[in-house]
Amino acid sequence: MWIADYLVNVARSIILQRRLRVSSPLPESLQRKIIWAYRRLGRPIANNPIDLLGYKISFMGEEQLRFLFNEIFIEASYFFQASDGCPLIFDCGSNIGMSVLFFKRLYPNARIVAFEPDPFTFKTLQRNVDQNHLSDVDLHQIALSNRVASVEFFRDVSPDSSSLVMSTLRQRHSGRGVIVPTRCLSEFISAEIDLLKIDIEGAEDVVMGELASAGKLRQARHLHLEYHHHIDASVDKLSSMLRLIEENGFGYQLQSNNKPWPSEASFQDISIYCYRK
């Protein structure tokens, strides 16, 4: 049985290798490491942390680890071309830190300011930064909003999840509530940002609006924004976000997950890559 599983794993990795060569923006040397890591993740995971891509990676669930690896390393969802080797990156919604590891693999001298509101997830993020001896990474255990206050979030009860949602969207998660302090992202921005990555589970409207009002959105050169369309099925306001992006001098590209077509009021993650025009 193990031989059959091994052969399937090898076949899948060969297919992935061909796909990466055709479409991935990542350097070939990194692509090869990703292929080996993919093979490793195709087998049961016995240890936490796991040795992967030259890192020791702590995680909260096997399926979550595989999902994050696929999204961030295989799909290269947060890839961007920096103008030099030490870009300033704001990582809003760092989760367990897989995105931080990705940015540091691309740009070892990058300066990263990372935000993660969930105190449980934050501990894993901190561990991944510390045990890999990453320098120039500034971590903040806060939620981003348009005011200094506190807000109640709810965790997913699944061990493979590390996401929080706001109390107004409690129907998405049935776990217990967590009170988290909130701050304005604009308070942390005092210079040009090479990349602003925002994946904050539905709070992107208020955070982007606050940034624009404070005149800080224009200080970003690139933006990777995860827009949660129909996180509330009764609300349609994607056009407002796109208008805000356009008014602040960005061009953009959109990508979305597949849904049965046509579907109505269905939740969609929409990835919006923005670039300074």
Q: What is the mean pLDDT of residues 123-134?
A: 98
3-state secondary structure of 197: strand
Q: Residue 102 in contact with residue 91, Cβ under 8 Å?
A: no
**pLDDT value of residue 170:** 45
Q: Which residue, 59, 19, 13, is CA-closest to 37?
A: 13
pLDDT band at 8 (very low <50, low <70, confident <90, very high): low
Is residue 116's pLDDT more than 90? yes
Strand partners, 193: 220
| Average pLDDT over all residues of the chain | 89
pLDDT at 108 over 80: yes
Rounded distance, CA 160 to CA 22, Å?
31
> pLDDT for 170-187, tens place per residue?
444 556 778 899 999 999
pLDDT at 162: 52
Rounded to an integer, what distance in angstroms lies between the CA atom of residue 222 and that of residue 58?
29
Q: Note the pLDDT of residue 154.
A: 74
Q: What confidence tens digit (pLDDT) does each residue in 186-215 have? A: 999 999 999 999 999 889 999 999 999 999
Quickly state the pLDDT bin for 76 (edges 50, 70, 90).
Answer: very high
Q: Which two tokens stand for residue 207?
A: 């955070």
- Which residues make Cβ contacts (< 8 Å) with residue 59, sequence separation at least 6? 48, 49, 50, 65, 96, 124
E strands, 218-263, in order = 220-229, 250-256
Q: How confident is the model at residue 4 (pLDDT cuts 50, 70, 90)?
A: low
Residues 6+ apart with CB under 8 A from 250: 223, 274, 275, 276, 277
Compute the average pLDDT of residues 245-253: 98
Question: All domains of the chain, ordered by start, with CATH?
Answer: 75-276 (3.40.50.150)
Q: Report pLDDT for 113.
A: 98
Q: Looking at per-residue confidence, does 4 or 142 come out higher?
A: 142
In the predicted model, is pLDDT for residue 229 greater than 70?
Answer: yes
Quote the CA–CA distance of 95 and 117 in Å, as a whole number: 9
Residues 142-158 have a mean pLDDT of 85
- Higher pLDDT, residue 178 or 239: 239
